[in-house]
Amino acid sequence: MAETRVHFRTCNLCEAMCGLRIELEGDRIRSLRGDPDDPFSRGFLCPKATALEDVHLDPDRQKAPLRRTADGWARIGWEEALDEVAQRFRDIQVRHGRDSVAIYLGNPTVHSLGAMTHGLGLIRALRTRNRYSATSVDQLPHHLAATTMFGHMLLLPVPDIDRTRFFLALGANPLASNGSMMTAPGMPQRLKALRARGGRLVVVDPRRTETAEVADTHLFIRPSTDALLLAALVRTILEEKLERPGRLADFTDGVDQVRAAVAAFSPERVAGPTGIAAEVIRDLARQFARAESAVAYGRVGLSTQPYGGVAQWLLQVLNVLTGNLDRPGGAMFTRPAVNPLGLAPRGGHARHHTRVRKLPSFGGEFPVAALAEEILTDGPGRIRALLVVGGNPVLSTPNGAQLERALGTLELMAAVDPYLNETTRHAHVLLPPTTSLERDHYDVVFHLLAVRNTAKWSPPLFPPAPGAKHDWEIFQALTRRLKPRFRPLRAALDRLATPRRLIDLGLRLGPYGWRTRHRLSVAKLEENPHGIDLGPLEPSLPARLMTPGKRIQLAPEVLVRDLARVERELLSEPTVRNGELLLIGRRDLRSNNSWMHNSQRLVKGPERCTLLMHPDDARTRGLADGQRVSVRSRVGRVEVPLQLTEALMPGVVSLPHGWGHGRAGVQLRVAAAHAGVSINDLTDDRAVDTLLGTAAFSGTPVEVSTGS
Ligand code: SF4
């Protein structure tokens, strides 16, 4: 009989960091459950966790490098593949300049320890300004607020959801996401506990989401108008003298500038555009300000709109003015065991601009909404080669069809990815890494965003397949080839610089390391396979601030200036043309990244890629529930089944993201059988927050009519 054993690890499929208890019989997984002894997730897991096993066993997963030939894909050896990619990148840079090679890092890179520890070396070796990542898809507004107000793009306040008495969520659906930019496994229990201790949950969203369903109050808001609501809330608090910054007042600058900046945004004036009555706005401001503790939190819906930068700033202004920043029950800063702040730039907004549309850089990257035009537009500096790491931007970035056309024109595209998906099928060379279950894991990023300080090390569950390479080994091998000087020495150093050693060093030098009673190291975490609890979030300001003089900048000039644009564009001009509907996305508990759609267990059941519409909007268009409808925007058209629901605000329609697997050449057989359509064949690459270049996915104007 095969040996049985139990393995503990952290699920790295989304931001929630759930602890898993995996029972094995030989090399077969017998059961995969939530680990009740994990001090952070306490036994919680969601249905997506099974995808870890499904990806590992997936017959569509590539296990050896592939080269695209006239006759299809051909297997090649690692040395040949790596030599070819590096040599061709270098040749293209010699002929066309450094910036002719670009890199795109997809969302899964932040969930991979190896990509976190070794990705930067590869990026530097490419020596290009054309760096893009999923960060500019939906989170730059958080980073701009953090940089300008607190001094570093990673000084991100996290809702202290376990102690708050008032949770205000805008454009966020934590019951589906289990928190985003707020790592909080077990959201159903955490929200139940909030209600049980007499706290209130208020959700502002154009859709009555799963989270809104359990809220005390749900307010429908017209897409892209959250900045108006937030400005009116701030104004009301100041006008009615409800501000109570408490000890924050000692190190906060700019209250008077904020007062002047929001003066134009009376609740009466924003009521029409937002769809929320003035008295409701005033009432919300009073409740928030008077709560024993309160926190305002906004996520994808708030960030992915033309005014996302301003909205995320005003959200933090609300937290500061009411004294809820850096106090239990408010928005707090974490103290992670491995501190990643040194790995990222402090910010750096608009140091450079894209060649074609002059969109600003942030944190050393350009916004991905500009990637296609940088490939397609001729002239000096045009992108001619691209490395995609763990990403599927054809499905995840605006106007994916245009990006797809652009990818087809590249001299060279290489991808570090286990799948031939909608993006990587355009690669000339595919470099597939090992799966999560074959690697060590430590969450470098998500401990920084977690609602409690903990630390956990996950050893590999399975040995890598013979000849397989981890992502970090691929990065190291490419880096050595791109920087061939002292190659033998580099190879020797690379053998020493494993992710495990780097994390061990980070733990020992960190705030719970050598010099503390915790004495954290990888070995100590291995002795504690469920993870170690390091306690609740604690007040840490002003010491942690990285602004000059360690002061909170409540009114950063760049954001105050942009608020004038909000007034000009949202309060002066009609934003919706007759007959148009505004398209928003939606998150689904059983989906996150597009490759999860190749797991039969995650796509089974009724079709989920449907267009949600309010019955009144359907009636005026003569449309019926279940029929196929045509959805058209400036950039494209899709056909999709219609689903009528009063959970959507009239005038708004919704499609989920990550679908659209019906393209030729994709080798994801389960996903192809549940293809759906891509919302990003409708979203517009021209629609961005001009302050940052973040894609404005929310509120794409569309027309819906009977399908063909
Ligand atoms: S919520 Fe689901 S996908 Fe996310 S970490 Fe937990 S089990 Fe994994």
What is the model's pLDDT at position 485? 81
DSSP state of 96: H
Strand blocks (E) in 233-383: 252-253, 295-298, 331-332, 349-353, 360-362
Centroid of ligand 1 to alpha carbon of 109 (angstroms): 16
Q: Is 14 in the pocket of ligand 1 (CB under 6 A)?
A: yes
- What's the Cα-to-Cα distance from 355 to each of 99, 375, 402, rounded to whole Å? 10, 11, 18
What is the model's pLDDT at position 199? 97
The answer to whether 421 and 134 are in contact (CB under 8 A) is: no
Measured distance CA(434)–CA(291) in Å, rounded = 49
- Determine the residue type at 689: D
Q: Residue range 251-277: average pLDDT?
A: 97
Identify the band that residue 494 occupies on the pLDDT scale cut at 50, 70 and 90.
Answer: confident
What is the model's pLDDT at position 487? 81
Q: Is 16 in the pocket of ligand 1 (CB under 6 A)?
A: yes
Whole-angstrom Cα Rg for the chain: 25
- What's the Cα-to-Cα distance from 541 to each of 234, 467, 517, 550, rounded to whole Å? 22, 49, 23, 9
Out of 42, 45, 177, 187, give the residue to mutate to test ligand 1, the one with the largest number of ligand atoms within 8 Å of its CB.
Answer: 45
Q: Is 178 in the pocket of ligand 1 (CB under 6 A)?
A: yes
Centroid of ligand 1 to alpha carbon of 295 (angstroms): 24
Residues 46-95: tens digit of each pLDDT: 999 999 999 999 999 999 999 999 999 999 999 999 999 999 999 999 99
In whole numbers, what is the pLDDT of the chain averaged over residues?
A: 95
Q: Is 111 in the pocket of ligand 1 (CB under 6 A)?
A: no
pLDDT at 183 over 90: yes
DSSP of 1-40: ---EEEEEEE--SSTT--EEEEEEETTEEEEEEE-TT-TT
- What's the Cα-to-Cα distance from 22 to each of 16, 34, 338, 533, rounded to whole Å? 18, 9, 26, 21
Centroid of ligand 1 to alpha carbon of 20 (angstroms): 9
Residue with tokens 């035009």: 373
Measured distance CA(112)–CA(90) in Å, rounded = 27
Measured distance CA(695)–CA(687) in Å, rounded = 6
Out of 21, 41, 111, 178, give the residue to mutate to test ligand 1, the one with the largest number of ligand atoms within 8 Å of its CB.
Answer: 178
Q: 524, 475, 482, 529: which is closest to 498 by C-alpha? A: 475
Which numbered atom of ligand 1 lies nearest the CA of 20?
A: 7
The answer to whether 299 and 308 are in contact (CB under 8 A) is: no
What is the model's pLDDT at position 587? 87
pLDDT at 595 over 90: no
Q: Residue range 270-277: average pLDDT?
A: 96
DSSP state of 148: H
Centroid of ligand 1 to alpha carbon of 6 (angstroms): 19
Q: Is 179 in the pocket of ligand 1 (CB under 6 A)?
A: no
Helix H or strand E encompassing 217: strand 217-219
Identify the band that residue 417 occupies on the pLDDT scale cut at 50, 70 and 90.
Answer: very high
- What's the Cα-to-Cα distance from 560 to each of 148, 393, 545, 635, rounded to whole Å? 11, 32, 21, 32
- Determine the residue type at 235: R
What is the model's pLDDT at position 576? 61
Question: In the chain, what percentage of residues exceed pLDDT 90?
Answer: 92
Residues 573-588: tens digit of each pLDDT: 655 667 799 999 998 8
Residues 295-351: tens digit of each pLDDT: 999 999 999 999 999 999 999 999 999 999 999 999 999 999 999 887 788 888 999
Residue 528: beta bridge partners? none
Identify the band that residue 490 occupies on the pLDDT scale cut at 50, 70 and 90.
Answer: confident
Q: Is 175 in the pocket of ligand 1 (CB under 6 A)?
A: no
Q: State if pTM tops 0.85.
A: yes
Centroid of ligand 1 to alpha carbon of 14 (angstroms): 5
Measured by CA distance, the residue closest to atom 4 of ligand 1 is 14
Q: Residue range 127-137: average pLDDT?
A: 95
- Determine the residue type at 89: F
Question: In the chain, what percentage of residues exceed pLDDT 70?
Answer: 99
Centroid of ligand 1 to alpha carbon of 509 (angstroms): 29
Which numbered atom of ligand 1 lies nearest the CA of 46?
A: 2
Q: Residue range 146-163: average pLDDT?
A: 97
Q: Is 507 in the pocket of ligand 1 (CB under 6 A)?
A: no
Q: Residue 596 contacts by C-beta under 8 Å, 6 or more apart in sequence?
A: 13, 48, 51, 590, 602, 658
Q: Is 633 in the pocket of ligand 1 (CB under 6 A)?
A: no
Residues 428-447: tens digit of each pLDDT: 999 999 999 999 999 999 99
- What's the Cα-to-Cα distance from 411 to each of 101, 132, 277, 374, rounded to whole Å? 10, 18, 55, 14
Q: Is 237 in the pocket of ligand 1 (CB under 6 A)?
A: no
Measured distance CA(673)–CA(529) in Å, rounded = 39
